[in-house]
Structure formats: structure tokens, C-alpha cells
């Protein structure tokens, strides 16, 4: 906004910009809208867990929606403005890396970064449009927290810091789509991922393998064709249950929403015909909640209150809370 008559000095922005100053040792962090709303527990537990590991997730002072769904139209640069603008914010801080938690945000930001950043012509066009910002030079790396834990913090180091091993807890790691596909931005092998399993093992839990761990939860079909999401969730949850899972771990607020909501509907429909011994629902947790729990973070910072199915009876049964 350098070309404005009045620079963005209006007090509002000043206060806004100073909300959280990113320090050199902190990790520039993009929360995404869901983590400020229905998935607060995801962010709270991640912050607490990272603090226990000696890292600070420093929220970008200004950020906007990631764009939610990555645009596949290659000539539609308008759809890349949102994600790229966030990358400009990182660049403005003099940083080169952006950490994300939400799988959807990760996917959109990482793909936009590659799509725009790797092509000088696109970069020029998008910069010409965004004349209100400093030119984006490309090169901001979008990192998912799981990558950071695996490659930089390392699972060995995490294991060493575990204070409350999740002994015997059977957890089904659910990847969904956005962490793995397309391959260029996938954080792991899209056919046979293992990063969540490795993390869970480091925490002392027992990862439960099941064939649907990388299948789609139904995503936004939940709005227009809920029956599709319902069918997907039915398969995913049944498979995890058959495999012996007591909990499902995710990295995506949308997956979590679907797994929670359609699981209930399914249970409700099933129980009309089922035996009186009905099964209780499987709690859906963010992986960061398990991480924080194992690292000894106090219960009030785990964000369990926002979950539809309370894992606490199970966890207290195992003397974990």
C-alpha cells in the first residue's frame, strides 16, 4: 500500500500488525481459518507440544485464507492471490519457511507456491496484479508440522522427551488426501505413508494399520451430497474399528468434521437394527493432541473440549489423564 495517500498508519493496522511479532528463533506459522474456529484444539495442542519441544509457532502478523481448495485451472491466477499473498507476508518478515498444521492449508499453499514460484512468467503476472504488495520472489517453502517433526526435530528426540508414554493405546493414523496428493507436495509416500505411524510409535502408542488410511473422507461433498461423505466415513471408521483402533488421529479439520459427524449419523442409523450392545463412537483426535499428551502437557491445554467424542474416559482408563 505504499502508493496510498495515507500509509496504512491508521491505528487499527498498527495494533493489528503488532499482534504477534515473529522472532528470529520462532517458526513463522500459518494457522488457517478452521484453527481459529472449530479446530481450536488443533492449534492449542500444537502450540503447547511445540513449546515442550523448545519451538515457538509464531503466527503471521497478517494472513488471509489459504484459498481452501487449490484451483486446478492453470490460467486462473486470481485463485492464487490468496495463497501467494500469505507467502509474501512470510517474505516480508525476512523468512523463507512457513509452517502449517491444517492439511488443506498445507496442500493449497504448497501447491500455489510451486505453481507460481517456479514459473517466472506467472510470478510476473501475479506480482503485476498485486501492486499493493512487495513483489513475491518465490522460494518460500511451505512445511507441514509432521515434516518438521520428522526431519528437523526427529522422532528420536521426541521419544526422548516423552513423559507420558501412550502405552498400549491403539491409534489408527488417518492421512486423507491432502497430506499425500499430488505426489509433488505429498509429505510421504502416497501409496504407503508411514510418518504418522512413526510418530505414534515414538509416543509409545500402537499404530493400527488399515487399508483406508489414505482414502478420501468425502471432503466438501459433505455439503452438497452428504451421502457420499457418509459412505466414505462409514468405510473408513469401520475399517479402523475392525483393525482394532480405539482412536483415530488426523491432521485435517475437514476430515475430522466428516469423521465425527457422519460417524454419528451412521451409528444412529445402525443402532435401530443392531443388538442392544451398541458400540461407542471412536474419538477423532488431532495428532498434535496425542503428541502434547505424551509430552506431558497439562490436560487443559489439549483442547479436548472441542471434540465431539470425548477421549477422556478411554484415556483415563489407561491412566493417561
Partner 1 sequence: MAEELKLVRGYPEYMRKSIERVEASRPRRLEEGPPPGMSLEEREELLKKYHPDYAPGGKRPLVAGPNKGEVAPNEVADLLEAYPLLEPGELELKVDFDVDILILGGGLAGTMAAIWAHEQGVPPDRILLATKLRHGDSNSIMAQGGTQAADKPYDSPTIHFLDAMGGGHFTNKPDVLKALVEDAPFIVKWLTELGCLFDRDENGEFVEEWGGGTSRPRMHAARDYTGMEELRVIRDEFRSRGFGLLEFYPAVELLTDPKGRVAGAVLWNMETDEYKVVRAKAVVLATGGFGRLHIRGFPTTNHYGATADGLVLAYRAGALLRDLDTVQYHPTGAAYPQQIVGLLITEKVRGLGAQVVNRDGEAFVFPLEPRDVEAAAIIRECYDRENCLVTPTGLRGVWLDSPMIEEIHGEGTIERRLPAMFRMYQRFGIDMRRDPILVFPTLHYQNGGVETDPWGRTNVEGLFVAGEVTGGVHGKNRLMGNSTLDCLVFGRRAGIAAAEYVKGKKAPQTVTLDHLKGFVEELRAAGVPEERRSPMLLPDYRGKRVLARMIDLL
Partner 2 sequence: MPEIMDRIKEANRAVTTGIDDSAVKHWVTVYIMGKGYRVPADITIMQAMEYAGYRFVRGAGCRAGFCGACATVYRTAGDWRLKTALACQTRVEDGMFLVQIPFTPAEKPAYDIEEEPADGTPLLKYFPEVARCVACNTCTKACPQDLEVMDYIQAALRGDLAAVAELSFDCIQCGLCAMRCPAEITHYHVAQLARRLYGRTLPVPKHVLDRVEEIESGKYEDEFEKLLSMSREELEELYRKEQREKGGLNSRDASRVTRNGQGER
Q: By C-alpha distance, which of 222, 224, 62, 30 is closest to 140?
A: 30
C-alpha distance across the termini of the chain, in Å: 50
**Residue 142: strand pairing partners:** 98
Q: Which stretch binds partner 1 (CB under 8 A): 5-13, 177-185, 197-205, 296-304?
A: 5-13
Q: State how far the Cα of 103 lies from the Cα of 145, in Å rounded to an integer.
A: 10
Closer to partner 2 by CB, 101 or 199: give it.
101
Question: Shortest gap between Cβ of 67 and partner 2 (angstroms)?
Answer: 7
Question: Shortest gap between Cβ of 12 and partner 1 (angstroms)?
Answer: 8
Closer to partner 1 by CB, 5 or 277: give it.
5
CA distances to 215, 228, 281 from 263, rounded to whole Å, are 16, 13, 7
If one asks whether residue 10 binds partner 1 (CB under 8 A), the answer comes out as: yes
Q: State how far the Cα of 27 lies from the Cα of 24, in Å rounded to an integer.
A: 8
What strands, in cross-sheet order, belong to the sheet with 284-286?
Answer: 206-207, 170-173, 247-250, 284-286
37 binds, among partner 1, partner 2, none (CB under 5 to 8 A by kind): partner 2
Closer to partner 2 by CB, 14 or 157: give it.
14
What strands, in cross-sheet order, belong to the sheet with 97-100?
Answer: 57-59, 27-30, 97-100, 141-144
If one asks whether residue 11 binds partner 1 (CB under 8 A), the answer comes out as: yes
Other Cβ atoms less than 10 A from the Cβ of 188: the count is 20
If one asks whether residue 19 binds partner 1 (CB under 8 A), the answer comes out as: no
> Considering only residues 220-259, where is the footprint of partner 2 by CB under 8 A?
none
**Residue 27: strand pairing partners:** 57
If one asks whether residue 25 binds partner 1 (CB under 8 A), the answer comes out as: no
Single out the residue of 41, 82, 218, 303 in contact with partner 2 (rule: CB under 8 A).
Answer: 82
Question: Shortest gap between Cβ of 2 and partner 1 (angstroms)?
Answer: 15
- Tell me which residues touch partner 2 (CB under 8 A): 1, 3-8, 10, 12-13, 15-16, 33-34, 36-37, 62-65, 67-68, 78-79, 81-82, 85, 129-130, 132-133
Q: Which residues bind partner 1 (CB under 8 A)?
A: 5-6, 9-11, 14
Amino acid at each position: 500500500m505504499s502508493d496510498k495517500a495515507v500509509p496504512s498508519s491508521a491505528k487499527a493496522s498498527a495494533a493489528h500488525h503488532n499482534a504477534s511479532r515473529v522472532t528470529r528463533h520462532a517458526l513463522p506459522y500459518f494457522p488457517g481459518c478452521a484453527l481459529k474456529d472449530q479446530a481450536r484444539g488443533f492449534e492449542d495442542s500444537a502450540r503447547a507440544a511445540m513449546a515442550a519441544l523448545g519451538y515457538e509457532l509464531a503466527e503471521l502478523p497478517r494472513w488471509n485464507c489459504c484459498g481452501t481448495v487449490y484451483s486446478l485451472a492453470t490460467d486462473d491466477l486470481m485463485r492464487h492471490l490468496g495463497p501467494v499473498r500469505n507467502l509474501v507476508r512470510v517474505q516480508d518478515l525476512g523468512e523463507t519457511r512457513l509452517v502449517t498444521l491444517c492439511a488443506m492449508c498445507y496442500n493449497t499453499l504448497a501447491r500455489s507456491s510451486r505453481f507460481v514460484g517456479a514459473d517466472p512468467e506467472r510470478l510476473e503476472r501475479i506480482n503485476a496484479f498485486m501492486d499493493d504488495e512487495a513483489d513475491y520472489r518465490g522460494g518460500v517453502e511451505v512445511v507441514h508440522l509432521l515434516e518438521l517433526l520428522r526431519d528437523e526435530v526427529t522422532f528420536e528426540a521426541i521419544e526422548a522427551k516423552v513423559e507420558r508414554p501412550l502405552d498400549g493405546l491403539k491409534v489408527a493414523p488417518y492421512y486423507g488426501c491432502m497430506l499425500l496428493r499430488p505426489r509433488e507436495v505429498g509429505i510421504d509416500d502416497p501409496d504407503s505413508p508411514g510418518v504418522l505411524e512413526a510418530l505414534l510409535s515414538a509416543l509409545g502408542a500402537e499404530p493400527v494399520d488399515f487399508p483406508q488410511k489414505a482414502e478420501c473422507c468425502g471432503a466438501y461433498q459433505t455439503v452438497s451430497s452428504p451421502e457420499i461423505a457418509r459412505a466414505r466415513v462409514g468405510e473408513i471408521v469401520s475399517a479402523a474399528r475392525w483393525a482394532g483402533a480405539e482412536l483415530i488421529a488426523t491432521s485435517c479439520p475437514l476430515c475430522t468434521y466428516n469423521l465425527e459427524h457422519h460417524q454419528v449419523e451412521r451409528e444412529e442409523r445402525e443402532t435401530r437394527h443392531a443388538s442392544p450392545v451398541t458400540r461407542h463412537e471412536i474419538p477423532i483426535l488431532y495428532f498434535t493432541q496425542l503428541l502434547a499428551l505424551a509430552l506431558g502437557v497439562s490436560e487443559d491445554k489439549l483442547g479436548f473440549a472441542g471434540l465431539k467424542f470425548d477421549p477422556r474416559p478411554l484415556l483415563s482408563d489407561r491412566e493417561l489423564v
